[in-house]
């Protein structure tokens, strides 16, 4: 079943279900330095007031991409950057709509990457 309402995403309910916090932790080379905030973003980060040097957003959808940029950009360290997967991927065009909406409101430096997924980096 598609979760698409605006022609923004080819993602379907049930995609990427084969995972867990335990599986993710098992792949971490330094698990003692990792904190998982499990749940739906942005609710999953309420109360977190860290700053960030690097953020990777790969959520395939408009709303959490925009929420991620609105949440993380103000908390980004000077010189830090946000990597956004699928910015130039037509299967997930909501990602581009979200990034463009953010950049229209906050004209900050951004640089598309020539990678397979059409990623983009937002800089501080």
Ligand X SMILES: C[S@@+](CC[C@H](N)C(=O)[O-])C[C@H]1O[C@@H](n2cnc3c(N)ncnc32)[C@H](O)[C@@H]1O
Query: Do 122 and 109 meet the contact criterion of CB atoms below 8 Å apart?
Result: yes
Q: How far is the CB of 81 from ligand X (least distance, A)?
A: 17
Q: How far is the CB of 107 from ligand X (least distance, A)?
A: 25
- Separation of alpha carbons 85 and 59, rounded Å: 8
Give the nearer residue to ligand X in terms of CB position, either 66 or 122.
66
Q: How far is the CB of 67 from ligand X (least distance, A)?
A: 7
Residues 30-69 as x/- pattern, contact with ligand X by CB under 6 A: ----------xx----------------xxxx--x-----
Q: How far is the CB of 117 from ligand X (least distance, A)?
A: 9
Asked if 16 touches ligand X (CB under 6 A), the answer is: yes
- 3-class secondary structure for 47-116? CCCCCEEEEEECCCCHHHHHHHHHHHHHHEEEEEEEEECCCCCHHHHHHHHHHHHHHHHCCCCEEECCCC
Where along the sequence are the contacts to ligand X (CB under 6 A)? Answer: 16, 40-41, 58-61, 64
């Amino acid at each position: 079943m598609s979760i698409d309402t605006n022609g923004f995403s080819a993602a379907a309910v049930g995609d990427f279900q084969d995972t867990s916090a335990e599986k993710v932790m098992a792949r971490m080379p330094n698990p003692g330095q990792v904190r998982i905030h499990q749940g739906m973003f942005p609710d999953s980060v309420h109360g977190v007031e860290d700053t960030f040097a690097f953020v990777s957003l790969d959520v395939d959808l408009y709303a959490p991409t925009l929420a991620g940029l609105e949440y993380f950009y103000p908390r980004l360290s000077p010189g830090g950057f946000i990597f956004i997967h699928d910015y130039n991927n037509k299967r997930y065009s909501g990602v581009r709509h979200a990034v463009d909406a953010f950049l229209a409101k906050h004209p900050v430096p951004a640089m598309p990457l020539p990678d397979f997924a059409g990623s983009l980096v937002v800089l501080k």
